[in-house]
Amino acid sequence: MSDFDFDLFVIGGGSGGVRAARVAAGETGAKVGLAEEDRYGGTCVIRGCVPKKLMVFASGYPEKVAEAQAYGWDMTSGDFNWDHFHGKLAAELDRLEGIYRKLLAGSGVETFDARAKVVDAHTVELSTGERKTAKHILLAMGGRPTMPDIPGAELAISSNEIFHLPKLPKNILIVGGGYIASEFAGVMNGLGVKTTQFYRGAQILRGFDDEARGLIAEEMIQKGVDLHLGTNVLEMKKVDDGIWVKATNGSEHVFDHVMFATGRKPNTDDMGLEEVGVKLGRKGEVLVDEYSQTAVPSIYAIGDATDRVNLTPVAIREGMAFVETVFKGNPTPVDHELIPSAVFTQPEYGTIGLSEEAAREQEPIEVYATSFKPMQSSFAGCSDRVLMKLIVSQANRKVLGVHIVAPAAGEMIQLAGIAVKMGATKEDFDRVVAVHPVMAEELVTMRNPTRTG
């Protein structure tokens, strides 16, 4: 009989925490408790990738209708009914949260709808006043959007609130240049909202491949997003007809809504972590080793709370590796190498491996790239362009990076990612017969490098 109430206590009911709790309880018979102060499913399911992707889908239909007309269909798009969509969205998120709760219950996990903080290496205290002891504690609290320190910032919304607007605004300012800001600029523009985007840097999507970033920005502007680079907000104030915004370039505008997507922060405030010896980084992230163990041996951390690779499937992988290590006696370090990802901008971007710039700093490379008008939109008279790009090592011929800017780029990169993770060379790609006519055939038909260096 254990001296503890639980073998494992998980703080956080998001994707990573729920997976770790379920697998530990269901597959190893561990006695598991889990506390969640908000809704089960975490950022991804409740206020992130799932509702965001549904909004991306919704915002793409006007363009599809215009394309259909060009193909000879007699149809009109009409107006977007935000109330209808929003009602269905709320019901879908409720359904998904219910599934998460059922999965936990079905695995035998005891759940607590409360905030939890750490009291010592083996004890958590709930906001109900109860204390629970556990042999192991797993921190999986995720992260949250941060707001800038400028006059009037409290008037703005973050990506959390964008899903719950009472009505669709006529216009919106989105501040930021990362994937969240750029995705929502495309979404709101597609839904018929006059959309302005400010980014203080020289180009959106910092850290991604420069050629891909440039094409996405150009296409966004073509589609109607009013993108201002090298521009930030100085101050905001409430006026009769909305929110007055003064920009660093001296311009002044009034918007119905202002959304900041200028960064996220781990949810580690007021958790008692440093008091018990858990070390935190500069941004408040939990510092862990390759096995997700903190400076306190009984306490582990996964997901956005650690600010390693802040993606839902990564948090899930980290949760699985934790269970393998701690409950299955199979020490499993987390593999953060060559993670494919998709950015649901319009156009969509799929990427794995190194950007051209990062690869060039590392070693001599060859770049194979082609940009063209895809058959479907070209026939409809659209000017949309796509990009297919391979970064190849001159030394060993391995494909170091793949970059796809195109409709369904996320679907394509998932499959290209398998090859890259396996260590495929350019010649491996070349040996594959092309599927014709599809956009992705370009990945296996590019014979001559566009540049080397």
Q: What percent of the chain has pLDDT over 90?
A: 99
Report yes or no on 332 lying in a domain.
no
pTM surpassing 0.95?
Answer: yes
| Stretch 341-357: mean pLDDT | 98
Structural domain that includes position 275: 6-144+265-326
Same domain, 363 and 386: yes
In this prediction, residues 11-34 reach a mean pLDDT of 98
User: Are residues 182 and 127 both part of a single domain?
Assistant: no
Q: What is the reported pLDDT for 183?
A: 98
* pLDDT at residue 453, as a whole number: 87
* Whether residues 366 and 393 fall in one domain: yes
Residue 81, domain CATH: 3.50.50.60
Residues 132 and 17 in one domain: yes
The predicted structure's pLDDT at residue 306: 98
**Mean pLDDT calculated for residue range 399-403:** 98
**Does 286 share its domain with 138?**
yes
**Residue 125: band (very low, low, confident or very high) from pLDDT cuts 50, 70, 90:** very high
The catalytic position among 86, 257, 403, 436 is 436
Amino acid occupying residue 353: G
Q: Are residues 180 and 47 in the same domain?
A: no
Q: Is 123 part of a structural domain of the chain? A: yes
Last residue of a domain, one of 217, 236, 262: 262
State yes or no: pLDDT of 79 exceeds 80: yes
Domain CATH number, residue 418: 3.30.390.30
Span 416-432, mean pLDDT? 98
**What is the rounded average pLDDT of the residues 143-152?**
96
Residues 434 and 290 in one domain: no
- Domain assignment present for residue 335? The answer is no
Q: What is the mean pLDDT of residues 105-110?
A: 98
- Per-chain mean pLDDT for the chain: 97
- What is the mean predicted confidence (pLDDT) over 191-207? 98
The verdict on residue 202 lying in a domain is yes
Considering the domain architecture, whether residues 162 and 203 belong to the same structural domain is answered as yes
User: pLDDT at residue 2 above 80?
Assistant: no
> Does some domain include residue 212?
yes
Given a cut of 70, whether residue 1 has pLDDT beyond it is no
Q: Per-residue pLDDT averaged across 253-282, rounded?
A: 98
- pLDDT value for 435: 98
Q: Are residues 256 and 271 in the same domain?
A: no
> Is residue 406 in a domain?
yes
Does residue 436 carry a catalytic annotation? yes
The answer on 177 and 83 residing in a single domain is no
The predicted structure's pLDDT at residue 344: 98
Tell which of 262, 279, 296 closes a domain.
262
**Domain termination residue (choose one: 280, 295, 326):** 326
Task: Specify if 336 maps to a domain.
Answer: no
Position 387 in a domain? yes
Count of domains for the chain: 3
Shared domain check, 355 and 296 = no
What integer pLDDT is reported at residue 78 of this predicted model? 87
Let me know whether 126 and 177 are in one domain. no
